[in-house]
Structures are given as structure tokens and as C-alpha cells.
């Protein structure tokens, strides 16, 4: 495994990795693009409540250390992230982004670093869906550009899906009784449900597993290699488990719940 040294060698290495991006600070920072509206992967927090923190930020810091540059974070709308990557405004995207064939035609993805699934949020007391088909013809709120949006359109129909720029806006729409359901990734759903336990219930249906990846600009093989090396290292040395314990909420085991009933 190739190791990057600090000092002048790190600057040369960074220039080779990032020089094609066109940013003036391409040898000063490694820039992560994200949407800080997806807790616990990325959100605003810290002492002043304005710093971008979360699971993906810890992963990005490890990648930046591998490259030998400080991490800089650019927060933007989710559907602006891949265009920003293509335009060279960011070097990589970490935003709880599912690896899909459509996205992989335009960017290069790292090895998967997290397995996720979609779930449904409902208002407490409302009848809960028992299968995916129960979403047909119902009104559903989602975040624009996400795989959850695609799932909702497929099940409920385009005319019944309301898309928002943040997951929070989608959840507020549900709590205000403007829609019947929210389709959202499991970890953010658990986060919202715990914060609004008197108002929301979480329902797990038979959605397929999804896998998050780090996106880099198409053809940037050198940076992609460093990303994959960093991901392998944080798993091997235990940092990945530390990040999980620090940031992610453990979902209940459905098998254990069934056994207890």
C-alpha cells in the first residue's frame, strides 16, 4: 500500500490527485461535498451549532488524512452534489449517497462503506402499511434526488409524490398532515422518529438493501484508490466501529422483536 508523506511530497501528491479539478485551492484542501440535512450521516452541530458533523464527516477526515490534506466541507442541496463534483467544485461526495447504475455512469464510486434500506415514517395512530403496495395511490413526501424518491414514484405514482430539498421538510409535511407517508433511509428515519416519538412511527417494509459509496469525478483513479485504501484501513484498525458507535443509532432486530411477541 502506498503511503503519502507530509510536507512537500504531500503537496506534489495532492496536485497529482486533484490538479485536474480547476480549483485554485486544489493543493490546499480536499473538498467534501455534502448535504447537511441527513442526520446522523451529516448535519449541523458542534458548540455553535453551525459545524457540519456526522458519520460521513469522520469517514471523510480519514480519507483526507490518507491524501495528506486538511478537509474542507461544502454544504449544498443534495441534487447539486454530483453537478458540483463534475464541475470540479468538490473533490468527493459523501452524503449517504446510494450507489446506483444511473449515478455510476457519471461518477466513480468507492467500495461500499454502509448498507442501508428504505423505511416509511407515518403519523402515530395512523394505519400502518404492511406491504410496499400499500403506498399505491397515497401521498408520499421524499427528498429530491434520492433513491427514496424513486421508490416512492414507482409505488405511489408521480402525481402523488411531493419532493423537498431536505428530509426535514419532508418530515414536517407529514407532521402537518399534508401527506400520508415519508419514504426515507433507515438511519435518518430512526433519528427523526426518536426526536419526535410522540408524533411519528417507523414502519419497515420489504425494501431492497442499498449501499452508500464515496463519489469522485469520473476517471480520477488516483483519488479513488486513496479513498478505497482509507476505507479499508478504518475497517481494519477499528475506527469504523468507533464511528458507528459514536454516530449511528442501532436499529432493533426484527427477528428478536418477533421472538419476544
C-alpha pair distances (Å), 4 with each of 12, 17, 65, 221: 10, 12, 9, 16
Give the mean pLDDT of 159-187.
Answer: 96
Last residue of a domain, one of 168, 189, 209: 209
pLDDT at 24 over 90: no
What is the pTM (predicted TM-score) of this model?
Answer: 0.85
> Pick from 189, 209, 229: which residue ends a domain?
209
List the grid coordinates of 132. 410496499
| Structural domain count, the chain | 2
Residues 178 and 191 in one domain: yes
Backbone φ and ψ of 39, nearest 5°: -65, 145
Helix (H) or strand (E) holding 61: helix 55-67
Report whether pLDDT(71) > 50. Answer: yes
Which pLDDT does position 193 carry in this prediction?
Answer: 92
143: containing domain = 116-209
Where residue 47 falls among pLDDT bands split at 50, 70, 90?
Answer: confident
> Is the residue at 3 inside a domain?
no
Residues 6+ apart with CB under 8 A from 200: 121, 122, 123, 124, 171, 174, 175, 192, 193
Query: Where is 83: in which H helix or E strand?
Result: helix 81-86
Same domain membership, residue 242 and residue 205: no
Q: CB of 114 within 8 A of CB of 211?
A: yes
Distances in Å between the alpha carbon of 22 and those of 28, 48, 63, 166, 225? 13, 32, 20, 29, 20
Q: How far apart are CA 26 and CA 14, in angstroms?
A: 8
pLDDT above 70 as % of the chain = 85
Hey, what's the cell of 38?
441527513
Q: Is 218 found in the same domain as 109?
A: yes
- Of 140 and 11, more confident: 140
What was the pLDDT predicted at 17? 58
The answer to whether position 129 is within a domain reads yes
pLDDT at res. 49: 86
Instruction: Tell me what pLDDT residue 33 has.
Output: 98
| Residue 120's CATH number | 3.40.190.10
The average confidence (pLDDT) of the chain is: 88
- Structure confidence at residue 249 as a pLDDT band (50, 70, 90): confident
pLDDT tens profile 187-224:
999 999 998 989 999 999 999 999 999 999 999 999 99
Same domain, 197 and 226: no
Residue 26 pLDDT class (50, 70, 90 cuts): low
Average pLDDT over residues 145-174: 96
Q: How many CB atoms lie within 10 A of CB 4?
A: 17
Residue 80 in contact with residue 37, Cβ under 8 Å? no
- 123 & 248 share domain: no
Please report the pLDDT score of residue 8 as a whole number: 35
Structure confidence at residue 6 (pLDDT): 30
**Phi/psi zone of residue 23: left (φ > 0), alpha (ψ -120 to 50 degrees), beta?**
beta
pLDDT score for 252: 52
User: In terms of domains, do 150 and 167 share one?
Assistant: yes
Question: Is 1 inside any structural domain?
Answer: no
Same domain, 179 and 54: no
**Same domain? 221 vs 100:** yes
Residue of 57 and 14 predicted with greater confidence: 57
Asked whether 165 and 185 are in contact (CB, 8 A), the reply is no
- Report the C-alpha gap between 14 and 27 in whole angstroms: 6
- Cell numbers that stand for 88 in this block: 470540479
- What is the model's pLDDT at position 48? 86
| Strand, coil or helix: 31 | strand
Phi, psi of 24 (to 5 degrees): -70, -30
- Residue 46: its pLDDT value, please? 84
Residues 132, 54, single domain; the answer is: no
Amino acid at each position: 500500500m502506498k503511503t503519502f508523506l507530509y510536507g512537500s511530497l504531500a503537496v506534489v501528491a495532492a496536485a497529482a490527485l486533484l490538479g485536474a479539478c480547476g480549483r485554485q485551492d486544489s493543493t490546499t484542501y480536499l473538498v467534501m461535498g455534502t448535504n447537511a440535512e441527513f442526520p446522523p450521516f451529516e448535519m449541523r452541530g458542534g458548540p455553535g451549532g453551525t459545524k457540519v458533523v456526522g458519520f460521513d464527516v469522520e469517514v471523510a477526515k480519514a480519507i483526507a488524512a490518507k491524501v495528506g490534506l486538511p478537509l474542507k466541507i461544502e454544504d449544498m442541496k443534495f441534487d447539486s452534489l454530483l453537478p458540483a463534483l463534475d464541475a470540479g467544485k468538490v473533490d468527493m461526495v459523501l452524503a449517504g449517497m446510494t450507489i446506483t447504475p444511473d449515478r455510476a455512469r457519471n461518477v466513480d464510486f468507492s467500495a461500499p462503506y454502509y448498507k442501508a434500506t428504505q423505511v416509511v415514517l407515518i403519523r402515530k395512530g395512523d394505519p400502518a402499511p404492511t406491504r410496499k403496495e400499500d403506498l399505491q395511490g397515497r401521498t408520499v413526501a421524499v427528498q429530491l434526488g434520492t433513491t427514496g424518491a424513486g421508490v416512492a414514484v414507482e409505488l405511489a405514482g408521480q402525481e402523488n409524490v411531493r419532493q423537498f430539498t431536505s428530509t426535514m421538510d419532508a418530515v414536517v409535511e407529514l407532521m402537518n398532515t399534508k401527506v400520508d407517508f415519508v419514504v426515507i433511509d433507515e438511519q435518518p428515519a430512526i433519528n427523526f422518529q426518536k426526536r419526535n416519538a410522540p408524533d411519528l412511527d417507523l414502519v419497515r417494509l420489504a425494501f431492497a438493501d442499498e449501499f452508500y459509496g464515496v463519489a469522485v469525478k469520473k476517471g480520477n483513479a488516483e483519488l479513488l484508490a486513496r479513498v478505497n485504501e482509507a476505507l479499508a484501513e478504518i475497517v481494519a484498525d477499528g475506527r469504523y466501529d468507533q464511528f458507528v458507535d459514536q454516530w449511528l443509532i442501532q436499529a432493533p432486530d426484527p427477528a428478536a422483536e418477533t421472538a419476544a411477541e
